[in-house]
Every structure is written in structure tokens, then in C-alpha cells.
């Protein structure tokens, strides 16, 4: 791995596929102008705010999302992580899917979100992701890049399950990506601390693109797309507005932290 800039994009996606893809392209263009070589899109980047409408349009959203990710990667000559977006599943629901694509538009990794967000929150909002989403059956895999490092991917709610990231770190992960649309209610208390915990316990960089603001009258996302270093230090925070967190991923920093705190070598159980 060599030093490079990574960008965690922050969007306010709505129930309008074309509008969302236009917003995403503007941000990708800006990130590449700033020198980013790895660009990550948030969960639900292509459609967010109306679950019934998303489910009805799942095939259209799936086709457009995958074409968009691959086209953008080729056009801007960068690696792009896009997802999650809906991909129709055999049981009549969808998989919440993320893919990693190289600068030639070739798919490197595909991950179907395993942990589904079925939660009743004290703010009155109820989320029942499993009503329309099929849980994936496999842990995320690792992409080994000589240029950009050993990259592991996950999606949003996965960040609450440390075993996912421990498995990736055991396989050699150096950079962990968590595209999310974290709720405003949970995000204010849990988002940053969870990302820092996953970074610290695995001595990995965390790249976390995010959704922000209102997507309809009720659904609001926390924002604060972040890049966090292996010591748990926040290198970039996008705040509450549409934009991005952009920071350098540096192999010497990774080596320094792992030398100073060799906790991965001290594991006793697993």
C-alpha cells in the first residue's frame, strides 16, 4: 500500500433515483478534483425516504445503481464503493447490496448486508428492514490491493457487530469501509464511538460515508461521514451538510500504530 486520499461522501438522498445519481456524480467529480483515489458512497445513495416505493422499483434502482458505480469508476479512473442498494432476492424481497469496483469498472467485491435493522426507537420511528430485505448469508470478504491496501466492506448496522470486523482484521484488513444511513436519534450517541471502537480494536482505518438530513417528513439521518485512523483519531468529519470527509490513508501510520499497540498479535480467543 502507498499513501493515498480516500473520500467518504455525504448525501441527502430522496425518493428520486435521477436526482440522487446527479448529486452523487457531483460529489464524485469534486472528490476526484481533490485527488481522491478511493471514493465511497453512503448506504441508500440511489434511493432513500420511501421503503414501499424503493421495493416496488427495486429492479430499476438495482440496474441504475450498478451501471452508475461502474461508469463513474471508469470515467474518473478511481476505485468506488457503492451501496447499499436493493438487488432482488429469490424470496421476493431484496438484498441490501454493496459493491467495490476498480478504475476499469470491474467488480472486485460484492457483499449482501447480513445484519438487518429491525428496531423501535424512542423517537417514535420504527424500522423493519427485514420486511423487504433478505439477510445475506456470508461474511464480507477482503479485497487485496497492492496500491490501496487490504480493504474490507460492510454496511451500516453491521458496525454494531464487532465480530464482522474482527474476522476481516484476522484476514489482514487494513482499511474498513462502512457505508451508512444512520438515524439521527441513534447517531448522535453511537455513530462516532462505534467507528472509533472498530478502528481501535482492529488497528485499521475506518472510512464511513453517510446520509444526512431529512429524506422525507419523518426519516432523518445523522450525517458526520468520517475517516478515522487506526489509533481512533478522527481525521475528517463532514458535519451535517452534503459534502465529504477526505483524508490520507498512510501505510506508515498503520505500521506505527500496530507496532505501538500490537493487540492483534495478543488475541487469545479467535
What are the tens digits of pLDDT across the range 192-222? 999 999 999 999 999 999 999 999 888 889 9
Residue in 153, 197, 183 with CA at minimum distance from that of residue 48: 183
What's the average model confidence in pLDDT over 45-64? 94
> In this predicted structure, which of 20-24, 118-122, 195-199 has the lowest mean pLDDT?
118-122
The per-residue pLDDT for range 123-150, each reduced to its tens digit, is 878 889 999 999 999 999 999 999 999 9
Where are the chain's structural domains? 4-266
CATH of domain 4-266: 3.60.110.10
What's the average model confidence in pLDDT over 27-53? 96
Q: What CA–CA distance (Å, rounded) separates 17 from 48?
A: 9
Q: 4-11 and 36-40 as β-strands: parallel, antiparallel, unpaired?
A: parallel
Q: What CA–CA distance (Å, rounded) separates 190 from 104?
A: 37
Q: What CA–CA distance (Å, rounded) separates 134 from 216?
A: 24
β strands within 115-242, DSSP E: 118-120, 126-128, 142-145, 149-153, 175-177, 205-208, 210-214, 220-222, 226-228, 234-237
Catalytic residues: 43, 113, 156
Cell of 233: 483519531
Torsions phi, psi for 46 (to 5 deg): -95, -15
What is the distance, to the nearest Å, from the Cα of residue 114 to the centroid of all Cα atoms in its chain?
A: 14
Place of cell 451538510: 241
Q: Angle of helix 184-202 relative to helix 162-170, nearest 10 degrees?
A: 30
Cell of 143: 479485497
Place of cell 465529504: 244
The per-residue pLDDT for range 212-266, each reduced to its tens digit, is 999 988 888 999 999 999 999 999 999 999 999 999 999 999 999 999 999 999 9
What's the average model confidence in pLDDT over 111-116? 97
Cell of 191: 455513530
In total, the chain counts a number of residues equal to 270
Amino acid at each position: 500500500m502507498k499513501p493515498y486520499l480516500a473520500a467518504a461522501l455525504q448525501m441527502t438522498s430522496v425518493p428520486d433515483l435521477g436526482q440522487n445519481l446527479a448529486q452523487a456524480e457531483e460529489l464524485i467529480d469534486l472528490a476526484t478534483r481533490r485527488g481522491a483515489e478511493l471514493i465511497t458512497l453512503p448506504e441508500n445513495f440511489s434511493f432513500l425516504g420511501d421503503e414501499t416505493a424503493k421495493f416496488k422499483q427495486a429492479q430499476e434502482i438495482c440496474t441504475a445503481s450498478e451501471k452508475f458505480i461502474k461508469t463513474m469508476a471508469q470515467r474518473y479512473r478511481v476505485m468506488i464503493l457503492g451501496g447499499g442498494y436493493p438487488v432482488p432476492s429469490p424470496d421476493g424481497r431484496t438484498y441490501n447490496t454493496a459493491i467495490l469496483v476498480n478504475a476499469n469498472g470491474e467488480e472486485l467485491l460484492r457483499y449482501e448486508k447480513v445484519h438487518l435493522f429491525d428496531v423501535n426507537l424512542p423517537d417514535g420511528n420504527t424500522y423493519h428492514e427485514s420486511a423487504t430485505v433478505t439477510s445475506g448469508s456470508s461474511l464480507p470478504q477482503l479485497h487485496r490491493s497492492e496500491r490501496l491496501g487490504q480493504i474490507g466492506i460492510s454496511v451500516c448496522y453491521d458496525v454494531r457487530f464487532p465480530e464482522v470486523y474482527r474476522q476481516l482484521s484476522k484476514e489482514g484488513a487494513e482499511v474498513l469501509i462502512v457505508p451508512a444511513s444512520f438515524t439521527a436519534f441513534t447517531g448522535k450517541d453511537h455513530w462516532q464511538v462505534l467507528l472509533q471502537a472498530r478502528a481501535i480494536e482492529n488497528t485499521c482505518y475506518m472510512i464511513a460515508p453517510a446520509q444526512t438530513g431529512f429524506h422525507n417528513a419523518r426519516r432523518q439521518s445523522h450525517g458526520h461521514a468520517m475517516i478515522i485512523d487506526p489509533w481512533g483519531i478522527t481525521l475528517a468529519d463532514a458535519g451535517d451538510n452534503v459534502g465529504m470527509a477526505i483524508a490520507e490513508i498512510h501505510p506508515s501510520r498503520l505500521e506505527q500504530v500496530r507496532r505501538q499497540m500490537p493487540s492483534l498479535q495478543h488475541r487469545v480467543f479467535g
